[in-house]
Amino acid sequence: MTYCVGLYLQEGLVFLSDTRTNAGVDNISVFSKMQTEEVPGERVLVMLSAGNLAITQAVWNLLQEGVCLGGEKLTLRTVPSMFRAAQLVGQAVREVYQQDGPTLSQQGIGFDCSLLLGGQIAGEPPRLFLVYAAGNFIEATTDTPFLQIGEHKYGKPILDRVVSFGTPLVDGVKLVLISMDSTLRSNLTVGLPIDLLVCRADTLEVTVRRRITEDDPYFRSIHDGWSNALREAYLELPRPEWGLG
């Protein structure tokens, strides 16, 4: 399993992914699920992946080699816009599906693949997309400024309640770490270390990239601080007057 989340904020984009892959509970490994293409000053693109690792690695490999889109062979370094980049990723997913899908299906294995693609190309604002296994995609908007893939449920309530398009980048980082911490706690197949990446809007480069391990002092302060904060917060809520003392 996997948990990846992307925030689409006025100040820029925030990405966070875990690194655990598993084939059963007795075979777990560490693989980064975050890939980047950066041409400083011109473009920065980030792809997060969930699903079957063989599929998502094949997608990334195809994207490196180049994928045909509208009769032209393009990569994430050459696509002219983020919309075309999302189409390119979708096309790569479809090529893998054509290649591997029939055999996977014969062996009763689903074509499990979902991707977050975000970034900015000079001349455009930052954009964030979720590409499905069918190669189609949706885009985050100011109404719904976050997208998640993988084991998204445990970490969703905090995002639902707090994240807005106007949330500052620095608070967005806190919120994705809280969201990940809730997920790590409840689902063993999502595991540390985690990869954080922030792109401030219009800088057209990676602002912060950080691999966060168990020993990271800031992550520990979020982990402990959030548990304490929740404990205090619920104690301060009013008590029901239903004869319970």
* Residue 75 structure tokens: 């990569």
Binding of a second copy at residue 236 (CB under 8 A)? yes
Among positions 32-71, residues that touch a second copy (CB under 8 A) are: none
Q: How far is CA 204 from CA 103, 104, 199, 226, in A?
A: 41, 39, 7, 32
Q: Which of 106, 105, 15, 35 is nearest to 75 (CA)?
A: 35
Among positions 210-229, residues that touch a second copy (CB under 8 A) are: 210, 218, 221-222, 225-227, 229
Q: Are 148 and 156 in contact (CB under 8 A)?
A: yes
Of the candidate spans 26-34, 50-58, 124-132, 235-243, the one that interacts with a second copy by CB under 8 A turns out to be 235-243
To a second copy, the closest distance from the beta carbon of 185 in angstroms equals 6
To a second copy, the closest distance from the beta carbon of 154 in angstroms equals 5
Binding of a second copy at residue 186 (CB under 8 A)? yes
Binding of a second copy at residue 108 (CB under 8 A)? no
Reply yes or no: is the peptide bond before residue 217 cis, omega within 30 of 0.
Answer: no
For residue 240, the 8-state DSSP code is: P
Collapsing DSSP to helix, strand or coil, 140 comes out as: coil
Interface with a second copy (CB under 8 A), residue total 48
To a second copy, the closest distance from the beta carbon of 139 in angstroms equals 21
Binding of a second copy at residue 25 (CB under 8 A)? no
* Residue 167 structure tokens: 């949330």
Q: Alpha-carbon distance 199 to 144, whole Å?
A: 19
Of the candidate spans 34-42, 68-76, 120-128, 182-190, the one that interacts with a second copy by CB under 8 A turns out to be 182-190
Among positions 138-167, residues that touch a second copy (CB under 8 A) are: 153-158, 160-162
Residue the block writes with tokens 């800088």: 203
To a second copy, the closest distance from the beta carbon of 171 in angstroms equals 7
Q: Which is nearer to a second copy, 192 or 222 (CB)?
A: 222
For the chain, how long is the longest CA-to-CA vector?
A: 73
Q: Count Cβ neighbours within 10 Å for each residue of 135-161 and write b for 16 or more, e otherwise.
A: bebebbeeeebbbbbbbbebbeebbee
Q: Which is nearer to a second copy, 70 or 143 (CB)?
A: 143
Binding of a second copy at residue 95 (CB under 8 A)? no
Residues that bind a second copy (CB under 8 A): 153-158, 160-162, 168-171, 173-175, 178, 182, 185-186, 198, 200, 207-208, 210, 218, 221-222, 225-227, 229-245
